């Protein structure tokens, strides 16, 4: 077992003392890892430079907010722009009591996610092949989720517009981003989307030196999504709220 894999398994032993338990979780993550290596030959899931750092840079980073979910008996999370499954699929493998919806519009990446779900036997996760802006206008998805998440989706303002409409009032949005990106003023964005920034959790991974360069920002939904949002597909990125 490689060093990064051993370190990740030890992390699981500490983070998941109860269900699903570290052994079962490790089995699923190993199957997930194998699938990434296999599919990455056909489609771009992770960069070539990251192939040797999947355990830490992607799996462990995705599980950084596990403490937020401690003690929850259930709940629903929508992960927008899941791509290779970070963070949504990784969280689903570690948190079987929660229900996960992986929002990924790309056909090939959606097929990859379906394959990993099949290989791991994860029964608490579904793939939704649709654009977040479309789901944000769908009554079956709008203001329906306890949590929303995004990692490497877009700059914070754009990501918040795509994710927050899916989250119910009182729910939370988890946004993975660089610490410099999170320094930008998001007060106007938060006011427009009826959310507030609750906390920022720095993320330090094995091998990181100095102050954290990445963090998870947690936003609380304080009211129903205003009717103007989300805007039509592409607008959040093209003309971010300010």
> pLDDT value at position 183?
86
pLDDT for residue 206: 84
Say yes or no to pLDDT of 176 above 70. Answer: yes
pTM: 0.95
Average pLDDT over residues 171-199: 95
Judged by average pLDDT, the poorest of 16-20, 89-93, 181-185 is 16-20
Given pLDDT bands bounded at 50, 70 and 90, which one contains residue 3? low
Average pLDDT for 123-150: 98
Instruction: Please check the confidence at residue 1 and state whether its pLDDT lies above 70.
Output: no
Q: Do residues 134 and 233 make contact, with C-beta atoms less than 8 angstroms apart?
A: yes
Domain 3-238 fold is Rossmann fold (3.40.50)
- The answer to whether 12 touches 22, Cβ cutoff 8 Å, is yes
SS (H, E, C) the chain: CCHHHHHHHHHHHHHCCCCCCHHHHHHHHHHHHHHHHHHCCCCCCCCHHHHHHHHHHHHHHHCCCHHHHCCCCCCEEEEECCCCCCCHHHHHHHCCCCEEEEECCCHHHHHHHHHHHHHHCCCCEEEECCCHHHHCCCCCCCCCEEEEEEECCCCHHHHHHHHHHHEEEEEEEEEEEECCHHHCCCHHHHHHHCEEEEEEEEECCCCCCCCCCEEEEEEEECCCCCCCCCCCCCHHHHCCCC
HSE (side-chain half, CA atoms, 13 Å) at 90: 26
Residue 201 has pLDDT above 60, yes or no: yes
Measure CA of the first residue to CA of the last residue in the chain; give whole Å: 48
What is the per-residue pLDDT for 113?
A: 99
Mean pLDDT for the chain?
A: 94
pLDDT at residue 72 in the model:
82
Report the C-alpha gap between 164 and 99 in whole angstroms.
Answer: 17
Residue reference for tokens 């949005």: 173
Structure confidence at residue 21 as a pLDDT band (50, 70, 90): confident
Going by pLDDT thresholds of 50, 70 and 90, the confidence category of residue 190 is very high
Name the residue among 217, 174, 170, 165 with its Cα closest to residue 192. Answer: 165
Q: What local confidence, expressed as pLDDT, does residue 158 receive?
A: 97
- Phi, psi torsion values for 77, nearest 5 degrees: -125, 130
Q: What is the tens place of the pLDDT at every residue in 34-49?
A: 999 999 999 999 998 8
Instruction: For residue 175, give the nearest of 198, 205, 143 by alpha carbon.
Output: 198
Q: What is the pLDDT of residues 47-106, one digit of tens each?
A: 988 888 999 999 999 999 999 998 887 899 999 999 999 999 999 999 999 999 999 999
Domain residue spans of the chain: 3-238
Taking a C-beta distance cutoff of 8 angstroms, is the pair 234, 224 a contact? no
| Range of weakest confidence among 15-29, 113-127, 167-181 | 15-29
The confidence band for 225, taking pLDDT boundaries of 50, 70 and 90, is very high
């Amino acid at each position: 077992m490689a060093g990064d894999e051993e370190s990740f398994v030890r992390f699981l032993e500490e983070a998941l003392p109860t269900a699903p338990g570290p052994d079962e979780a490790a089995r699923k993550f190993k199957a997930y890892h194998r699938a990434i290596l296999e599919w990455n030959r056909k489609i771009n899931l992770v960069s070539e430079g990251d192939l040797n750092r999947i355990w830490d840079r992607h799996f462990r980073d995705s599980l950084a907010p596990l403490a937020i979910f401690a003690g929850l008996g259930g709940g629903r999370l929508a992960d927008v722009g899941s791509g290779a499954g970070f963070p949504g699929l990784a969280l689903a493998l570690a948190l079987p009591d929660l229900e996960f919806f992986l929002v990924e519009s790309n056909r090939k990446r959606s097929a990859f996610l379906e394959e990993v779900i099949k290989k791991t036997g994860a029964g608490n996760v579904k793939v939704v092949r649709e654009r977040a802006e479309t789901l944000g206008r769908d009554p079956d998805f709008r203001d329906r989720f306890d949590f929303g998440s995004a990692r490497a989706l877009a700059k914070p303002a754009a990501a918040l517009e795509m994710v927050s409409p899916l989250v119910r009032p009182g729910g939370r949005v988890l946004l993975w981003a660089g610490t410099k990106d999170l320094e930008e003023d998001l007060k106007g964005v938060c006011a427009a989307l009826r959310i507030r920034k609750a906390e920022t959790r720095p993320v330090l991974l094995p091998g990181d030196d100095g102050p954290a360069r990445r963090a998870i920002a947690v936003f609380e939904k304080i009211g129903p999504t205003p009717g103007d949002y989300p805007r039509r597909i592409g607008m959040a990125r093209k003309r971010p709220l300010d």
